[in-house]
Structure 1
Amino acid sequence: MMNLPQTISVLLLGTSLAVLSPQVCPAFTVQEVASLAKASSDLPLVKSAGLSPDMDVPWSKAVRIVDPFEGEFLGVFDRNSLGGYLLREGSTQVISLWTPSSIRVLVTVNSGEAMSPFYTAGRVYPRPDPLRFVATKKVDKLLLKVREKVFQLDGSTGTFAISQELATALKNAPDENLDIRLVLEGGQAVDSEIGKGTVKAWRNIY
């Protein structure tokens, strides 16, 4: 984290870091904003906001994302496997990224696996690691139930904008799993949930 001059403050706005003069933003003192900036610098660092089936990130924890195309922002990654063991044929995985401005969702279905043989000394040996065949599904709608209120979000390419009302609801969500429904292209619905750990982590970014 860079050393900040006394006359400059760093404020997290949406999906980027903005540099503001304290005269322009009187609601934040230099000490408060510096404390916020330090807290974000102490979070685990993730170098890409891209979602993929085999990604390796801290799950259900607030992280600082520094993406080469999108800049720096805070987020929480969540993962849920449906239908049993992840490598089982027909199992579904729901990966999501929750940021102050948007929710991104990736739904993949495992359509099977096969052993990949290799040849050596004239003999064929099976590889110890199977090859997975994964299909990605397009998500058109996202429904979330927070307490008794249902939020329905429409998006494109699996990205859904977060309103101020929804951000407030997520920040104040009860300390329990949260139900979501994903409506795929063609109308198929996938019911999943967000784990309690992710719900707790939302309080750090909303």
Structure 2
Amino acid sequence: MKCNFDSIGFVIGSFVLLGVPQSISLVSTFELFTSIYSLDSNITLLADRDELEQAPSHDSLQSIDAEIDYPIVAADTWMTEKGVPWSELVMIRSEHQDDYLAVLDRFYDAESSPNHPGISSLWSRQQLQVYGYGQCIYCEVEHPAYPVSAASLKVGDRVFHLQGGDSSFVISEEVAWALKNAPPYEVWLRIAIAGGSNYTTRPIGPNTIAAWQTLYQDAEPVEVAALPEAPTTQVSRLPDNLPADLPVIDESTWRQQSGVPWSQPLIVRDDFNGDYLAVLDRDYSSSGFFSRTTSGILTNWSADQLAVHAYEEEESYLMSYSCWSVRQLVLQIGQQTFYLKGENNIFRISDDLASVLASQPLETPRLSYPQSNGEVITREIGPGTVEAWSVIYGTAEVE
């Protein structure tokens, strides 16, 4: 799966003028209905993708209060349709299944970009549908929807790594109970676009959270011990006695490259899994003049994992940005070769590999990965990053 973003612009010398309108955060208002509805409460926590594909795509509404005239929204166009009633209860209509109750949420702002899109989400009793929300003034669809491969939800202090994929995720009974009791302004949704090559974290609007009280009113608390173990993401925690002047960047925006202090220890602010110490590296190559193509890879090295972002950017009259999922890496350090396998562009750092990284190898490390066309390319790791490895993986102190 790839993420592709196109926009029209004009190149004048080294300046690019883009025809992209400024967007604003949209949070609509709604009236919270207090009537009681009978919803299908057959909730199943699905442990893998095969089970998800066998489950019903949506839950059916068994009975509807005839006095409530819910807005009707089409099931196949809500993510790109204009005039959608956001953050209020709506009836989703499909030609292939019964109508069902849901609430739609969307967040994007003036800082939204092709590499950091907004999020559109549809919350029903049993499932979450979610897409990256794009902007393209000259495209056939003004706001294209980007498929989502992974989603995590933070409610208060709790983090849920949702089961599913292909923009459809299960609302387990445990998650439904958390949503029913969610505090306003304390819910965040993190999505991975294009198989994990691009992450975005956005808040859920307070009116959507209020609507959950009706949508998930029949949810009951579940004993955590009775639930199957859900996948979790472990990242390093901040060590003690770090200098107060260390650079700080955000986990959801470092892939945008703007203002990132490369090849030096820094703190990555992660509201989901906890802040962590890391070093970021970048290697890329460019070709062309009037039509310029740049391709490269960004790497985020922390104590427990390596996160990567492979990309290609073309600058001409038509500007485009592409990124893709990377599931295999080959890391060459001197005479040692490490074959890494990961998911959503995240790779575990083993103890053996951490020991080698901490030793500050003299040879220039090289990282090989597949490009979007399948061709394998090799990039070098910068000397500043290699030096910082002794801090991230060893006992060296941050200067």
TM-score range, shorter chain: 0.5 to 0.7
The amino acid that maps onto 2:68 is: D
Q: CA deviation at 1:90?
A: 6.5
- Is 1:171–2:180 an aligned residue pair? yes
Does residue 17 (structure 1) correspond to residue 61 (structure 2)? The answer is yes
The structure-2 alpha-carbon separation of the partners of 1:11 and 1:133, relative to structure 1 and needing over 3 Å to count, comes to closer
Letter in 2 for 1:17: L
Deviations 1:107-164 (A, max 9, x none): 1332x434xxxxxxxxxxxxxxx97665542211111111111000132220001100
Provide the rounded CA distance (Å) in 2 between the counterparts of 1:63 and 1:13: 16
Given candidates 192, 208, 215, the residue that maps to 1:198 is 208
SS at match of 2:62: strand
Return structure 1 stretches of 4+ with deviation > 4 angstroms. Answer: 88-91, 130-135
Query: Residue deviations 1:50-83, cap 9 Å, x none?
Result: 2332332211011222322221111001111144
Q: Find the partner of 1:44 among 67, 70, 82.
A: 70
1:96 aligns with 2:121: yes
Which of 142, 146, 161 pairs up with 1:137?
Answer: 146
Residue 67 of structure 1 corresponds to 94
Distance 1:45 1:98, change over 3 A: same
**What is the root-mean-square deviation of aligned Cα atoms in Å?**
2.7
Task: Give the whole-Å Cα distance in 2 for the aligned partners of 1:202 and 1:82.
Answer: 23
140 and 91 in structure 1: CA distance in 2 versus 1, 3 angstrom threshold = closer
Partners in 2 of 1:89 and 1:141 — Cα distance? Answer: 18
Moved more, 139-148 or 61-70: 61-70
AA partner of residue 204 (structure 1): T
Find the residue that maps to 1:166 and give its secondary structure. helix
Paired residue for 1:80?
107
The 10-residue stretch of structure 1 (60-69 or 73-82) with the greater mean CA deviation from structure 2: 60-69
Aligned-residue sequence identity (percent) comes to: 29
Tell me the distance in 1 between the aligned counterparts of 2:116 and 2:150: 21
Partner residue of 1:126? Answer: none
Distance (Å, rounded) in 1 between the aligned partners of 2:82 and 2:89: 16
Any gaps of 5 or more consecutive residues in structure 1?
Answer: 1-9, 20-36, 115-129
TM score, norm. by length of structure 1: 0.67
Q: Distance in 2 between matches of 1:91 and 1:163?
A: 28
Bigger radius of gyration among the two? 2
CA distance in 2, matches of 1:186, 1:64: 31
Which residues of 2 match residues 101-140 of structure 1 at below 5 A?
Answer: 101-110=126-135, 112-114=136-138, 135-140=144-149
Alignment of 1:55 with 2:100, yes or no, is no
Distance 1:55 1:154, change over 3 A: farther
Q: Give per-residue Cα distances to partners, 1:166-196, cap 9 Å, x unaligned.
A: 0010000012251111112242211111111
Which structure's residues are more often strand, by fraction? Answer: 1
**Cα distance in 2 between the residues matched to 1:186 and 1:66:** 29
TM-score normalised to the size of structure 2? Answer: 0.37
Change in Cα spacing, 1:138 to 1:168, as seen in structure 2 (3 Å) is: same
Aligned residue for 2:157? 148
Contact residue 43 and residue 64 of structure 1 kept, 8 A:
no
Quick one: structure 1 residues 49 and 105, their matched pair in 2 at CA, closer, same or farther if it must change by over 3 Å?
same
Instruction: Provide closer, same or farther for how the CA distance between residues 90 and 173 of structure 1 changes in structure 2, counting only shifts above 3 A.
Output: same
Residue ranges of structure 2 left out of the alignment (5+ in a row): 1-36, 42-58, 217-399
